[in-house]
Amino acid sequence: MSDSKILETFPNPAPSRDYIIEHTHHEFTSVCPMTGHPDFATITVRYVADKICVELKSLKYYVLSYRNVGIYQEHATARLAQDLFKALGPKRLSIRTIYNMRGGFDTTCTVSLPG
């Protein structure tokens, strides 16, 4: 199971400014709960920090914690957004997942918070 407790933070160096922080990870993997086959995706985390920012190594380990999790693509995107929003308390956050083709379909999911 994925573990949001892995996420570490540090103080936002410019909390009075609304600047966009964007992280992209090209090696997200989870498992389709229906077939057991792996799902591969590129994830983009985009947020405007309030008081804290996410530490990158902990974000990497958090994303890697999905490796053996049986979860639908849409649910994975929503859970990533919910966990990061809870951990960071940002002004705005969006998660975009672009999944590799499976069964002839490309799938892109986006969740934005607050909604």
Q: State CA 62 to chain mean position distance.
A: 9
Instruction: Decide: residue 30, CB within 10 A, 0-12 exposed, 13-18 middle, 19+ buried.
Output: buried
The reported pTM is 0.93
Which residue among 18, 32, 53, 83 is the active-site one? 32
Residue 45 bridge partners (DSSP): 23, 95
Q: Calculate the alpha carbon distances from 88 to 1, 66, 92 in Å.
A: 20, 19, 10
Read off the pLDDT of residues 38-54 as tens digits, 9 standing for 90 and up.
999 999 999 999 999 99
Which residue among 39, 53, 83, 109 is the active-site one? 39
- Cα end-to-end distance, the chain, whole Å: 26
Domain borders along the chain are 4-113
pLDDT band at 3; cut points 50, 70, 90: confident
Pick the CATH number of 4-113 from 3.90.1640.10, 3.30.1130.10, 3.30.930.10, 1.10.300.10: 3.30.1130.10
Please state the φ and ψ torsions of residue 104, each to the nearest 5 degrees. 85, 0
- Tell me how far apart the alpha carbons of residues 76 and 81 are, in angstroms, rounded to a whole number: 9
Whether 32 sits among the annotated catalytic residues: the reply is yes
Read off the pLDDT of residues 61-77 as tens digits, 9 standing for 90 and up.
999 999 999 999 999 99
Q: What is the pLDDT of residue 2?
A: 78
Whether 39 sits among the annotated catalytic residues: the reply is yes
Q: Please answer whether residues 81 and 47 qualify as being in contact, where contact means their C-beta atoms are separated by less than 8 angstroms.
A: no
- Identity (one letter) of the amino acid at 98? I
Q: What is the pLDDT of residue 85?
A: 98
Read off the pLDDT of residues 7-39 as tens digits, 9 standing for 90 and up.
999 999 999 999 999 999 999 999 999 999 999
3-state helix, strand, coil in the chain (%, to 5): 25, 45, 30
Read off the pLDDT of residues 74-114 as tens digits, 9 standing for 90 and up.
999 999 999 999 999 999 999 999 999 887 888 999 999 99
